[in-house]
Chain A
Amino acid sequence: MRPFIYHRATSDSAALQTVIGGAAPRDQPPTSARAQFIAGGTTMLDLMKLDVMRPSEVIDINRIAGLDQVEKTPDGLRLGALARMADVARHPLLADYPVIAQSLTLAASPQLRNMATLGGNVLQRTRCTYFRDPSWKACNKRDPGSGCAALDGFNRSHAVLGVSDHCIATYPGDFAQALIALDALVEIRRQGGERVLAFADLHRKPGDRPDIETALAPDELIAAFRVPAAPWTRRSLYLKIRDRQSYEFALASAAVALDLAGDGAVRQARIALGGVATVPWRAREAEAALVGHKVADDVAQRAAEIAFRDAQPRRRNAFKVELGRRALQRALLETASLEI
């Protein structure tokens, strides 16, 4: 690890002021900026030790007051960006949003969930081993233009959706799948103001600039997530398929929320897919295919096939197409049969 200066901010304006001093140029991604925010530190400290991120200034935002609230609003739910994963997962207000609580509980380990914040969680960076080890020369995400070692390397955990010729790194998070499924919004603080962004617009597919991972500017800070109340939030779940029972990233996951009519036919569906895509992944066409149908094996299977129609597998991750389909199919069937 390289030496760095540690600042502790007690207000968002102070934090933003400090980070602007070390901001990356406008054409560079915030992740390469000289100054970085730190909250739970569960991703960034790792990456600093690994010499992947090399900030010379770190701004601790944990002491900023008022950003860790979980509250009910007239529109739904508001989750503060500094709230800890563990605290949110067990918050009584989440009872009407099981997919959110499950996505948090099934992530990481208890120790990590106690430390990690919601804002940091959605911004966690890929687990691609070629990205996380600078001794591999080719990584367009870490070193733009250097190539991608994963394309023809060991890519078992890599993405099949949203990929490009420049990067196939998987977006690793779980919580983001619940947010994108439930049409969440992101409150973003910037110097002298605020903007609100659809969560679906926060992350960027790799395209030809996999180093630019989000729509955030270097001088912006996530303040909260808003989750609109909706008829489908209670009938929802997060299914996570992984190599071991706990403390492991998804090989494939599905966040599903359904609004069913009295006869069981789908009025509205919300689907997001994790572990298989480069960004939090909403499967809108699959959702549409469910509307008006009762969720049975064949209906779920058809939706799953639609969801993975554009998948682009590589040698070691080809199984993820089939696994992802089956995970979604299982999640749909289980969601439809929930007693709520």
Chain B
Amino acid sequence: MDAPAKSGQPLPRLDARLKVTGGARYPSDVAVANPAYACLATSAVARGSIRAIRLDEARAVPGLLDILTYQNANEIKPINFFSKGGQAASSIMPLSAPKIWHDGQIVALVVAETFEAASEAAQKIAVDYDEEPPTATIGSPGATVNAVADVSEEHKDPGFGDADAAFAAAPVKIDAEYSTPTQHHNPMELFTTTCLWSDGKLVVHEPSQYVYGMKNGVAAQLGMDPGDVRVVSAYIGGAFGSKGSLTSRTAIVALAAKRLGRPVKLVSTRDQGFTIATYRAETRHNVKLGADRNGKLLAYSHEAFELTSRPDDYNVAGTTTTAVMYNYGAVATRVNVVHADRNTPGFMRSPPEVPYMYALESAMDELAYALQMDPVELRRINDTAKDPNPGNPRPYTSRSLMRCFDQAAAAFGWEKRSPAPRSMRDGDWLIGWGCATACYPTQIAPAAARVSLTPDGWARVQIAAHEIGTGAYTVIGQAAAERLGLELDRVKVELGDTALPPGPIAGGSNTTASATAAIVKACDAIREKLFRAAAGSNQGALAGKPIADLDLAGGRIVAGDVSEPLTAAFKYMGQAAIEEYVESVPHGLAADAMEKLYRGRVALAGGPKGEKLMFAFGAEFVEARVHARTGEIRVPRAVGAFAAGHIMNPRTAHSQLMGGMIWGISAALHEATEIDERSARYVNDNLADYLIPVNADIQTVDVIFVSETDREINPLGVKGLGELGNVGTNAAVANAVFHATGLRVRDLPIRLEKLLPSV
């Protein structure tokens, strides 16, 4: 099916005005009657156990209502970690026992009449610990290492051929170590939870990228029927993965509200967000690339280490992506997890691709210099239309990587680049240009949706998908408006509520593909009913017309030059509304995928998993400037060209990709959660010390859409692009800095002290 033209329009967001006027109610904005306010107290040590909690001072604070600790609130039931079939972001259960697993673990929840009283009381809780020496990070004493292939049921290290021999024999080689730091999402909206009970039923208002996951997970933790739990999350003030799985705070707040018989609202602090939720863990990589003198890749090997907590095997294992990226002659990979005394990491925008593509694309750039070859040409020589593994030569459904490179290079002015490092300069500033490949797997999940249409030409679309700032209301509305022949403002879209049919997790850039697949199916069922009524009627202008000739447009049923109002078809049917509830299960998933969706379990098809490879691609070009005397690094411009199938809404897509590139610049130059290695505690857990760019740091960021049609991926031919934009940027910046200075920084972020030796 051709992608409908109208859905490609750059329509403004349906919720734009609400968001800029304060009309959008984020979960902690939702008013509840007579709330009590909660604050958390968290641990100041990373490993050990609580010897005593002294609550006298806290209890003396006027307005104090309750304090939950492991001593009085250990009734929450364990559920599985999400990769072990549950919904939990971590296996660590903070109030279940005195054991401390990581810095900033929740040790108490204080509830009071006011936020101020709760905050004061939380500060007055005194905890004595029996401390044990903690393990901070990869390479620290006490860290334990496991191969992911040994501990994961899903992951197999990709590889084929004899990569060691091919590397040994290759005339041109790169063998380098790269690392990425700990990073935290720091969404503007803090981690909040409001819980209220009524007649044994629980309502949770919490920003969530997966309300059905939260509903089912909380129900299991509290020993409830999931039907008695409702989760509402109509707007989310930034998530980036951090609100994708169920953290421990939710059930604790629910328990507090139950004990008190009164709604309880928690708004955690910025520093607590570093430890009560998830983060992107630090990674280390050893990449070996071997090539012949023409640049043909003979060998690629990649061993990686990823940090995780003591109990959980969280890993991103991005070699499943990198191993299919180029036409390698042989591949060997191995991914390891390193357990330390840290909170469990989790999804963060493009979880596997950001660290692994940084390593690969940096090595590719190094190889291009070793070959004295244009880095774009190196990618062209090794471009592939299929999995390079000759034992499994799966084709890409579409791959427009080199068209992205060519369009981005032209817009950037790449042909004016002087290839030698340190050869471009503007006064005291060294100038460098770099580029890298961006990619992201195209994934799709099961989804259910309800769509209704009334004779007056209003449609209502209901699906528990999520608006995390991406424009989901708008794009989902556009899909329905297109199929029902309505203007967008005649479509009411409801999202983010478990009272609605289950939608997919807002993760893996699958929402547009998954939700629209269900919505198109529902709309088509409505169309079918209307058309049958109009054509099957013995009266009216459309009577007897072939159904295939009918369409919906402008609020009417049309066939060529003749049309009838919607009201006529409803009259023939003797109905005042049509409502369709549909379930959509994408090809490639097991038969129970839909049932799992209702139970809050994630299943994604596509990407590198199926019979064909499904990916979106991009090429990113960056100019870096480094001061020749003091080493400051600035990125005045970036150009990205992206091919992601049909673009539903170029306006929201542009923002997604531009925002991704800005984040990529941020990650390359600024972001790092610093860890005090002695105590395994985060040091810069605030937005003054965890640096992100300010407006003055970001100047020109150009986004180019490269046209692409892919009829195999999903009904509308869309590839998710929410996570595409920040994949290539880290390497593009690092490669540009090398070109400017001649110094290769392989450990992110690139800060001026690392460049001082070169300037």
Contacts and interface: CB of A to CB of B under 8 A. Distances in A.
Interface of A: 1-3, 51, 109, 127, 129-130, 133, 135-137, 149, 152-154, 156-157, 241-248, 251-252, 319, 322-323, 326-327, 329-330
Contacts of A247: 694, 696
Interface in B117-140: 119-120, 123
Contacts, number: 81
B632 interface: yes
B752 A243 contact: yes
A329 B683 contact: no
B676 A241 contact: no
Interface stretch (B362-370, B554-562, B594-602, B684-692): B684-692
A51 B123 contact: yes
A109 B685 CA distance: 20
B694 A153 contact: no
A319 B753 CA distance: 6
Interface residues of B, number: 34
- The A interface is mostly helix, strand or loop, or mixed, namely loop
Contacts of B693: 244
A135 B103 CA distance: 11
A2 B120 CA distance: 6
7 contacts: A1-B119, A129-B684, A129-B689, A243-B670, A245-B694, A323-B631, A329-B629
The residue among A244, A246, A330 with the most chain B CB atoms within 10 A of its own CB is A244
Interface in B668-727: 669-670, 674-676, 678, 681, 683-686, 688-689, 691, 693-697
Interface in B151-180: none
A26 to B, nearest CB: 29
A243 B690 CA distance: 11
Contacts of A109: 694
Contact of A2 (B123, B683, B753): B123
Closest 4 CB pairs of A and B: A319-B753, A245-B696, A135-B44, A246-B696
Interface in B247-261: none
B74 to A, nearest CB: 24
A152 B678 contact: yes
Contact of B630 (A3, A152, A241): A241
B694 A154 contact: no
Given A127-B688, A322-B756, A244 B630 contact: no
Contacts of B686: 129
The residue among B119, B676, B686 with the most chain A CB atoms within 10 A of its own CB is B676
A51 B44 CA distance: 15
Contacts of A153: 676, 678, 683
B632 A241 contact: yes
Contacts of B632: 241-242
B580 interface: no
A241 B120 contact: no
Contacts of B684: 129, 154
A323 B759 CA distance: 11
B752 A241 contact: yes
A135 B274 CA distance: 14
Nearest to A157: B689
B634 interface: yes
Contacts of B681: 136
Nearest to B62: A3
A100 B696 CA distance: 22
Contact of A319 (B674, B694, B756): B756
A1 B124 CA distance: 10
Contacts of A130: 683
B116 interface: yes
Given A152-B678, A251-B752, A326-B629, A127 B689 contact: yes
Contacts of A243: 669-670, 691, 751-752
A137 to B, nearest CB: 8
Given A153-B678, A244-B696, A326-B631, 9 more contacts: A149-B676, A153-B676, A153-B683, A154-B676, A156-B753, A241-B630, A241-B752, A244-B697, A246-B694
Contact of A330 (B44, B630, B751, B753): B630
Contacts of B631: 323, 326
Nearest to B120: A2
B116 A323 contact: no
A242 B632 CA distance: 7
Contacts of B123: 2, 51
Contacts of B678: 152-153
B494 interface: no
Contacts of A133: 271, 685
A154 B674 contact: yes
Contacts of A245: 634, 694, 696-697
A133 B44 CA distance: 10
Contacts of A51: 123
Nearest to A2: B120
The residue among A51, A130, A322, A326 with the most chain B CB atoms within 10 A of its own CB is A326
B221 to A, nearest CB: 28
Given A154-B676, A330-B630, A244 B120 contact: no
A64 to B, nearest CB: 28
A152 to B, nearest CB: 7
Contact of A244 (B629, B670, B753): B670
B683 A129 contact: yes
A106 to B, nearest CB: 11
Nearest to B115: A1
Contacts of B271: 133
A153 B683 CA distance: 9
B428 to A, nearest CB: 8
Contacts of B752: 241, 243, 251, 319, 323
A130 B116 CA distance: 24
A81 to B, nearest CB: 25
Contacts of B670: 243-244
B139 to A, nearest CB: 16
Nearest to B633: A243
Interface string B453-495: 0000000000000000000000000000000000000000000
Contacts of B691: 243-244, 248
B676 A246 contact: no
A243 B627 CA distance: 12
B696 A330 contact: no
A236 B634 CA distance: 25
B305 to A, nearest CB: 22
Nearest to B666: A244
Contacts of B120: 1-3
A119 B685 CA distance: 29
Interface string B599-631: 000000000000000000000000000000111
A244 B632 CA distance: 8
Contacts of A246: 694-697
Contact of B756 (A149, A323, A329): A323
A136 B684 CA distance: 12
Nearest to B119: A1
Contacts of A329: 629
B86 to A, nearest CB: 31
A35 to B, nearest CB: 19
Interface in B512-552: none
Given A133-B271, A243-B670, A247-B694, A326 B630 contact: yes
A1 to B, nearest CB: 6
A289 to B, nearest CB: 19
A133 B683 CA distance: 9
B273 to A, nearest CB: 14
Nearest to A318: B753
Contacts of A244: 670, 691, 693-694, 696-697
A3 B119 CA distance: 11
A57 B670 CA distance: 39
Nearest to B759: A326
B153 to A, nearest CB: 38
Contacts of A135: 44
Contacts of A252: 630
B371 to A, nearest CB: 33
Nearest to A153: B676
